[in-house]
Protein backbone atom coordinates (compact mmCIF):
# COMPACT_ATOMS: atom_id res chain seq x y z
CA UNK A 1 0.00 0.00 0.00
CA UNK A 2 1.58 3.28 -1.05
CA UNK A 3 1.20 6.29 1.20
CA UNK A 4 2.77 9.70 1.62
CA UNK A 5 2.84 12.13 4.49
CA UNK A 6 3.38 15.85 4.63
CA UNK A 7 5.08 16.77 7.89
CA UNK A 8 3.20 18.79 10.47
CA UNK A 9 5.43 20.95 12.67
CA UNK A 10 4.34 22.53 15.97
CA UNK A 11 6.27 25.21 17.86
CA UNK A 12 6.71 24.44 21.58
CA UNK A 13 8.89 25.66 24.43
CA UNK A 14 11.14 22.69 23.62
CA UNK A 15 11.54 23.90 20.02
CA UNK A 16 9.86 22.93 16.77
CA UNK A 17 8.50 19.37 16.89
CA UNK A 18 7.12 17.12 14.17
CA UNK A 19 3.74 15.72 15.22
CA UNK A 20 3.31 11.96 15.31
CA UNK A 21 -0.03 11.22 13.60
CA UNK A 22 -1.60 8.38 11.63
CA UNK A 23 -0.07 8.48 8.16
CA UNK A 24 -2.55 9.88 5.63
CA UNK A 25 -2.83 7.83 2.45
CA UNK A 26 -2.87 10.45 -0.29
CA UNK A 27 -1.76 8.43 -3.29
CA UNK A 28 -4.11 6.45 -5.52
CA UNK A 29 -4.45 2.87 -4.35
CA UNK A 30 -6.62 -0.01 -5.50
CA UNK A 31 -9.49 -0.76 -3.11
CA UNK A 32 -12.53 -2.99 -2.83
CA UNK A 33 -15.55 -0.76 -2.23
CA UNK A 34 -17.86 -1.92 0.55
CA UNK A 35 -21.39 -0.65 -0.02
CA UNK A 36 -24.74 -0.91 1.67
CA UNK A 37 -26.29 -4.38 2.17
CA UNK A 38 -23.07 -6.26 1.57
CA UNK A 39 -22.45 -8.90 4.27
CA UNK A 40 -19.48 -8.10 6.59
CA UNK A 41 -17.92 -11.46 5.70
CA UNK A 42 -17.45 -10.17 2.13
CA UNK A 43 -15.09 -7.50 3.45
CA UNK A 44 -13.33 -9.92 5.81
CA UNK A 45 -12.65 -12.33 2.96
CA UNK A 46 -11.18 -9.49 0.90
CA UNK A 47 -8.95 -8.38 3.79
CA UNK A 48 -7.70 -11.92 4.39
CA UNK A 49 -6.90 -12.23 0.69
CA UNK A 50 -4.72 -9.13 0.93
CA UNK A 51 -7.01 -6.45 -0.51
CA UNK A 52 -7.73 -3.01 0.95
CA UNK A 53 -11.42 -2.32 1.61
CA UNK A 54 -12.95 1.17 1.53
CA UNK A 55 -16.18 1.78 3.49
CA UNK A 56 -18.58 3.59 1.17
CA UNK A 57 -21.83 3.76 3.13
CA UNK A 58 -22.17 3.96 6.94
CA UNK A 59 -19.65 4.29 9.76
CA UNK A 60 -21.43 1.41 11.46
CA UNK A 61 -20.45 -0.86 8.55
CA UNK A 62 -16.85 -0.59 9.66
CA UNK A 63 -17.82 -1.62 13.18
CA UNK A 64 -19.69 -4.64 11.85
CA UNK A 65 -16.74 -5.68 9.67
CA UNK A 66 -14.28 -5.37 12.57
CA UNK A 67 -16.57 -7.44 14.77
CA UNK A 68 -16.65 -10.15 12.10
CA UNK A 69 -12.87 -9.87 11.72
CA UNK A 70 -12.38 -10.42 15.47
CA UNK A 71 -14.38 -13.64 15.21
CA UNK A 72 -12.13 -14.77 12.35
CA UNK A 73 -8.93 -13.96 14.30
CA UNK A 74 -10.18 -15.60 17.51
CA UNK A 75 -10.96 -18.77 15.59
CA UNK A 76 -7.61 -18.70 13.76
CA UNK A 77 -5.58 -17.92 16.92
CA UNK A 78 -7.26 -19.84 19.79
CA UNK A 79 -4.22 -19.82 22.13
CA UNK A 80 -5.19 -17.84 25.28
CA UNK A 81 -1.67 -17.53 26.71
CA UNK A 82 -0.07 -14.09 26.92
CA UNK A 83 2.06 -14.83 23.84
CA UNK A 84 -0.92 -16.30 22.00
CA UNK A 85 -2.98 -13.19 22.64
CA UNK A 86 -0.10 -11.01 21.47
CA UNK A 87 0.07 -12.94 18.16
CA UNK A 88 -3.70 -12.65 17.73
CA UNK A 89 -3.57 -8.87 18.31
CA UNK A 90 -0.75 -8.57 15.78
CA UNK A 91 -2.72 -10.47 13.13
CA UNK A 92 -5.85 -8.43 13.85
CA UNK A 93 -3.90 -5.19 13.56
CA UNK A 94 -2.42 -6.13 10.18
CA UNK A 95 -5.79 -7.09 8.71
CA UNK A 96 -7.88 -4.31 10.26
CA UNK A 97 -5.52 -1.58 9.06
CA UNK A 98 -6.46 -2.40 5.47
CA UNK A 99 -10.04 -1.35 6.21
CA UNK A 100 -10.17 2.30 5.13
CA UNK A 101 -12.23 5.47 5.45
CA UNK A 102 -12.12 8.54 3.22
CA UNK A 103 -11.66 12.00 4.76
CA UNK A 104 -12.45 15.20 2.88
CA UNK A 105 -12.34 18.71 4.36
CA UNK A 106 -11.65 17.20 7.82
CA UNK A 107 -14.81 15.08 7.77
CA UNK A 108 -15.40 11.36 7.41
CA UNK A 109 -17.07 10.58 4.09
CA UNK A 110 -19.56 8.04 5.43
CA UNK A 111 -23.03 8.45 6.89
CA UNK A 112 -23.63 8.79 10.65
CA UNK A 113 -19.94 9.24 11.44
CA UNK A 114 -18.77 10.78 14.74
CA UNK A 115 -17.22 14.25 14.81
CA UNK A 116 -13.48 13.91 15.43
CA UNK A 117 -11.74 17.19 16.18
CA UNK A 118 -8.27 15.74 15.66
CA UNK A 119 -8.87 15.60 11.90
CA UNK A 120 -8.82 19.39 11.71
CA UNK A 121 -5.92 19.79 14.17
CA UNK A 122 -3.66 17.07 12.76
CA UNK A 123 -4.34 17.42 9.02
CA UNK A 124 -4.60 21.14 8.26
CA UNK A 125 -4.52 21.90 4.55
CA UNK A 126 -4.88 18.27 3.49
CA UNK A 127 -8.15 18.20 1.51
CA UNK A 128 -8.63 14.49 0.72
CA UNK A 129 -6.96 11.36 2.11
CA UNK A 130 -7.63 7.89 3.50
CA UNK A 131 -7.04 6.44 6.97
CA UNK A 132 -7.39 2.92 8.37
CA UNK A 133 -10.66 2.47 10.26
CA UNK A 134 -8.97 1.47 13.58
CA UNK A 135 -6.86 4.63 13.44
CA UNK A 136 -10.01 6.71 13.00
CA UNK A 137 -11.45 4.91 16.01
CA UNK A 138 -8.29 5.80 17.92
CA UNK A 139 -8.57 9.44 16.89
CA UNK A 140 -12.20 9.51 17.96
CA UNK A 141 -11.53 7.86 21.34
CA UNK A 142 -8.56 10.16 21.97
CA UNK A 143 -10.70 13.19 21.14
CA UNK A 144 -13.21 12.19 23.82
CA UNK A 145 -10.43 12.04 26.44
CA UNK A 146 -8.95 15.32 25.21
CA UNK A 147 -12.27 17.14 25.34
CA UNK A 148 -13.56 15.71 28.60
CA UNK A 149 -10.23 15.22 30.36
CA UNK A 150 -9.23 12.40 32.70
CA UNK A 151 -9.42 12.96 36.45
CA UNK A 152 -6.16 12.15 38.25
CA UNK A 153 -6.94 11.49 41.94
CA UNK A 154 -3.44 12.30 43.27
CA UNK A 155 -3.60 15.71 41.56
CA UNK A 156 -7.28 16.32 42.30
CA UNK A 157 -7.67 17.73 38.82
CA UNK A 158 -8.12 16.71 35.23
CA UNK A 159 -5.45 16.36 32.56
CA UNK A 160 -6.23 16.57 28.85
CA UNK A 161 -3.92 14.12 27.06
CA UNK A 162 -2.91 14.99 23.53
CA UNK A 163 -3.43 12.42 20.77
CA UNK A 164 -0.99 9.51 20.94
CA UNK A 165 0.12 10.26 24.50
CA UNK A 166 0.17 7.66 27.25
CA UNK A 167 -2.02 8.47 30.23
CA UNK A 168 -2.72 6.39 33.35
CA UNK A 169 -5.95 4.46 33.72
CA UNK A 170 -4.81 2.84 36.98
CA UNK A 171 -3.38 4.88 39.83
CA UNK A 172 -1.75 2.56 42.40
CA UNK A 173 1.79 3.49 41.30
CA UNK A 174 0.92 7.20 41.45
CA UNK A 175 -0.41 6.66 44.98
CA UNK A 176 2.94 5.11 45.97
CA UNK A 177 4.80 8.11 44.58
CA UNK A 178 2.38 10.55 46.25
CA UNK A 179 2.88 8.96 49.66
CA UNK A 180 6.64 9.02 49.18
CA UNK A 181 6.60 12.69 48.19
CA UNK A 182 4.61 13.55 51.34
CA UNK A 183 7.51 12.23 53.44
CA UNK A 184 10.33 13.48 51.19
CA UNK A 185 12.76 15.63 53.18
CA UNK A 186 15.44 16.20 50.55
CA UNK A 187 16.13 19.44 48.66
CA UNK A 188 13.46 20.59 46.22
CA UNK A 189 15.39 22.97 44.00
CA UNK A 190 15.17 20.76 40.91
CA UNK A 191 14.14 17.36 39.58
CA UNK A 192 14.15 15.48 36.28
CA UNK A 193 11.08 13.55 35.13
CA UNK A 194 12.29 11.08 32.50
CA UNK A 195 9.52 10.05 30.08
CA UNK A 196 6.91 12.46 31.40
CA UNK A 197 3.97 11.24 29.26
CA UNK A 198 1.04 13.50 30.09
CA UNK A 199 3.04 15.04 32.93
CA UNK A 200 1.53 13.43 36.04
CA UNK A 201 4.78 12.92 37.98
CA UNK A 202 5.95 16.42 37.08
CA UNK A 203 2.72 17.95 38.36
CA UNK A 204 2.89 15.83 41.53
CA UNK A 205 6.35 17.25 42.25
CA UNK A 206 5.21 20.81 41.59
CA UNK A 207 2.30 20.19 43.97
CA UNK A 208 4.80 19.16 46.66
CA UNK A 209 6.92 22.26 46.31
CA UNK A 210 9.67 21.49 43.82
CA UNK A 211 10.91 24.77 42.37
CA UNK A 212 11.84 23.51 38.91
CA UNK A 213 11.26 20.28 36.99
CA UNK A 214 12.89 19.28 33.72
CA UNK A 215 10.51 16.90 31.91
CA UNK A 216 11.64 14.78 28.95
CA UNK A 217 9.92 12.48 26.49
CA UNK A 218 10.79 10.81 23.20
CA UNK A 219 7.15 11.09 22.10
CA UNK A 220 6.67 14.47 20.36
CA UNK A 221 2.93 14.47 21.11
CA UNK A 222 3.61 14.15 24.84
CA UNK A 223 5.78 17.27 24.73
CA UNK A 224 3.12 19.14 22.72
CA UNK A 225 0.38 18.14 25.17
CA UNK A 226 2.32 19.07 28.32
CA UNK A 227 3.43 22.33 26.68
CA UNK A 228 -0.22 23.14 25.98
CA UNK A 229 -1.12 22.43 29.62
CA UNK A 230 1.73 24.63 30.86
CA UNK A 231 0.46 27.47 28.68
CA UNK A 232 -3.09 27.20 29.97
CA UNK A 233 -1.99 27.04 33.62
CA UNK A 234 0.91 29.54 33.46
CA UNK A 235 3.48 26.98 34.62
CA UNK A 236 6.23 27.50 32.04
CA UNK A 237 8.46 29.22 34.61
CA UNK A 238 8.56 25.99 36.66
CA UNK A 239 8.89 23.34 33.95
CA UNK A 240 11.51 22.94 31.21
CA UNK A 241 10.55 20.52 28.42
CA UNK A 242 13.06 18.44 26.45
CA UNK A 243 12.19 16.26 23.46
CA UNK A 244 14.32 13.17 22.94
CA UNK A 245 15.43 9.78 24.24
CA UNK A 246 15.69 9.32 28.02
CA UNK A 247 17.35 12.51 29.37
CA UNK A 248 17.03 14.15 25.93
CA UNK A 249 20.28 16.07 26.25
CA UNK A 250 19.21 17.64 29.54
CA UNK A 251 22.57 18.54 31.11
CA UNK A 252 21.15 19.41 34.51
CA UNK A 253 22.67 17.93 37.67
CA UNK A 254 19.86 17.33 40.11
CA UNK A 255 18.94 15.92 43.51
CA UNK A 256 16.01 13.83 42.25
CA UNK A 257 15.39 11.82 39.10
CA UNK A 258 11.98 10.17 38.72
CA UNK A 259 11.21 7.50 36.16
CA UNK A 260 7.97 5.69 35.33
CA UNK A 261 9.31 3.46 32.54
CA UNK A 262 7.62 0.85 30.36
CA UNK A 263 6.89 -2.28 32.37
CA UNK A 264 7.13 -5.05 29.76
CA UNK A 265 10.14 -6.28 27.73
CA UNK A 266 9.60 -5.95 24.01
CA UNK A 267 9.63 -8.75 21.47
CA UNK A 268 9.89 -6.15 18.68
CA UNK A 269 11.03 -2.57 18.13
CA UNK A 270 8.35 -0.50 19.88
CA UNK A 271 7.26 2.76 18.35
CA UNK A 272 4.67 5.43 19.06
CA UNK A 273 2.64 4.91 22.19
CA UNK A 274 3.92 1.31 22.47
CA UNK A 275 7.26 2.74 23.62
CA UNK A 276 5.46 3.76 26.84
CA UNK A 277 4.52 0.10 27.43
CA UNK A 278 7.42 -2.02 26.10
CA UNK A 279 11.18 -1.57 26.55
CA UNK A 280 14.14 -2.90 24.59
CA UNK A 281 17.11 -4.79 26.06
CA UNK A 282 19.52 -1.88 26.52
CA UNK A 283 16.90 0.56 27.78
CA UNK A 284 17.47 0.29 31.52
CA UNK A 285 21.28 0.03 31.44
CA UNK A 286 21.34 3.25 29.39
CA UNK A 287 19.00 4.96 31.83
CA UNK A 288 20.99 4.00 34.94
CA UNK A 289 24.27 4.95 33.29
CA UNK A 290 22.98 8.42 32.41
CA UNK A 291 21.20 8.86 35.75
CA UNK A 292 24.42 8.19 37.66
CA UNK A 293 26.13 11.01 35.75
CA UNK A 294 23.35 13.52 36.44
CA UNK A 295 22.65 12.84 40.10
CA UNK A 296 24.14 15.13 42.73
CA UNK A 297 25.83 13.63 45.78
CA UNK A 298 23.12 12.60 48.23
CA UNK A 299 20.49 12.63 45.49
CA UNK A 300 17.98 9.92 44.69
CA UNK A 301 16.50 8.04 41.76
CA UNK A 302 12.84 7.06 42.20
CA UNK A 303 11.66 4.34 39.81
CA UNK A 304 8.01 3.34 39.53
CA UNK A 305 7.76 -0.18 38.19
CA UNK A 306 5.69 -3.37 38.30
CA UNK A 307 6.31 -7.09 38.63
CA UNK A 308 3.87 -7.70 35.76
CA UNK A 309 6.52 -9.19 33.46
CA UNK A 310 7.62 -11.59 36.23
CA UNK A 311 3.99 -12.50 36.94
CA UNK A 312 3.58 -13.42 33.27
CA UNK A 313 6.93 -15.22 33.02
CA UNK A 314 8.86 -15.91 36.27
CA UNK A 315 12.11 -16.18 34.29
CA UNK A 316 11.92 -12.54 33.16
CA UNK A 317 14.80 -10.43 34.41
CA UNK A 318 13.76 -7.56 36.69
CA UNK A 319 15.76 -4.55 35.40
CA UNK A 320 15.99 -2.69 38.74
CA UNK A 321 17.06 -5.80 40.65
CA UNK A 322 19.58 -6.51 37.90
CA UNK A 323 21.03 -3.00 38.17
CA UNK A 324 21.40 -3.28 41.95
CA UNK A 325 23.06 -6.68 41.66
CA UNK A 326 25.37 -6.01 38.71
CA UNK A 327 25.46 -2.31 37.84
CA UNK A 328 27.90 -1.14 40.48
CA UNK A 329 26.31 2.32 40.53
CA UNK A 330 23.40 2.36 42.98
CA UNK A 331 22.27 0.97 46.31
CA UNK A 332 18.68 0.58 47.45
CA UNK A 333 17.49 3.13 49.99
CA UNK A 334 13.81 2.19 50.03
CA UNK A 335 11.39 -0.24 48.43
CA UNK A 336 7.59 -0.10 48.67
CA UNK A 337 5.01 -2.22 46.85
CA UNK A 338 1.26 -2.15 46.46
CA UNK A 339 -1.15 -4.83 45.26
CA UNK A 340 -2.90 -3.92 42.02
CA UNK A 341 -6.67 -3.80 42.09
CA UNK A 342 -8.48 -6.48 40.06
CA UNK A 343 -8.94 -5.85 36.33
CA UNK A 344 -12.25 -4.47 35.19
CA UNK A 345 -14.90 -7.13 34.69
CA UNK A 346 -15.64 -5.48 31.34
CA UNK A 347 -12.29 -6.46 29.83
CA UNK A 348 -12.43 -9.32 27.34
CA UNK A 349 -8.74 -10.24 27.58
CA UNK A 350 -7.48 -13.07 29.73
CA UNK A 351 -6.13 -11.27 32.81
CA UNK A 352 -5.26 -14.21 35.09
CA UNK A 353 -1.66 -13.01 35.49
CA UNK A 354 -2.93 -9.75 36.98
CA UNK A 355 -3.84 -11.54 40.23
CA UNK A 356 -0.17 -11.57 41.24
CA UNK A 357 0.72 -8.09 40.00
CA UNK A 358 2.16 -5.46 42.31
CA UNK A 359 3.36 -1.96 41.54
CA UNK A 360 6.70 -0.97 43.01
CA UNK A 361 8.56 2.15 44.11
CA UNK A 362 12.34 1.79 44.15
CA UNK A 363 14.38 4.62 45.71
CA UNK A 364 18.08 4.36 44.87
CA UNK A 365 21.15 6.33 45.93
CA UNK A 366 24.62 6.45 44.41
CA UNK A 367 26.84 3.67 45.73
CA UNK A 368 29.54 6.21 46.59
CA UNK A 369 27.13 8.98 47.49
All domains of the chain, ordered by start, with CATH? 9-143 (no CATH), 149-366 (3.40.50.150)
Residues 6+ apart with CB under 8 A from 101: 54, 55, 59, 62, 108, 109, 110, 113, 130, 131, 132, 133, 136
Element spanning 161, H or E: none
φ/ψ of 360, rounded to 5, equals: -135, 145
| Whole-angstrom distance, CA of residue 60 vs CA of residue 237 | 47
Per the document, the length of the chain is 369
For residue 349, with 0-12 CB atoms within 10 Å meaning exposed, 13-18 middle and 19 or more buried, which class applies? Answer: exposed
Residues 6+ apart with CB under 8 A from 280: 265, 266, 269, 270
Question: Distances from the Cα of 291 to the Cαs of 81, 194, 275, 330, in angstroms?
Answer: 36, 10, 19, 10
Tell me 218's DSSP state.
S
CA dihedral over 53, 59, 61, 63, signed as positive or negative: positive
Instruction: Give, for all 369 residues of the chain, the pLDDT tens digit.
Output: 344 456 789 999 989 999 999 999 998 899 999 998 899 999 999 999 999 999 999 999 999 999 999 999 998 888 778 777 888 888 999 999 999 999 999 999 999 999 999 999 999 989 999 999 999 999 999 999 999 999 999 999 999 999 999 899 889 999 999 999 999 999 999 999 999 999 999 999 999 999 999 999 999 999 999 999 999 999 999 999 999 999 998 888 999 999 999 867 776 555 555 555 776 778 999 999 999 999 999 999 999 998 877 777 777 889 999 999 999 999 999 999 988 876 554 444 444 545 678 899 999 999 886
Amino acid sequence: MDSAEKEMIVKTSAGEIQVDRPTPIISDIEVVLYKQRMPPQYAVDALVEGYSVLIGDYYSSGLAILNQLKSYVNTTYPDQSFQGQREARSAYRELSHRLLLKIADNKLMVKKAPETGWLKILYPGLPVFLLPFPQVQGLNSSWQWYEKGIYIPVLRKKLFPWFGTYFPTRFEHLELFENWLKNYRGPKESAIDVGTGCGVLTFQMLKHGFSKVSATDSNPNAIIGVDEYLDKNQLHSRVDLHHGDLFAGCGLSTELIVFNPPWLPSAYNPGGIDSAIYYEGDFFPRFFSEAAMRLKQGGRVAVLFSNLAEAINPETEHPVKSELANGGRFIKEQYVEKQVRPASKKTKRNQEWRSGEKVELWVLKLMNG
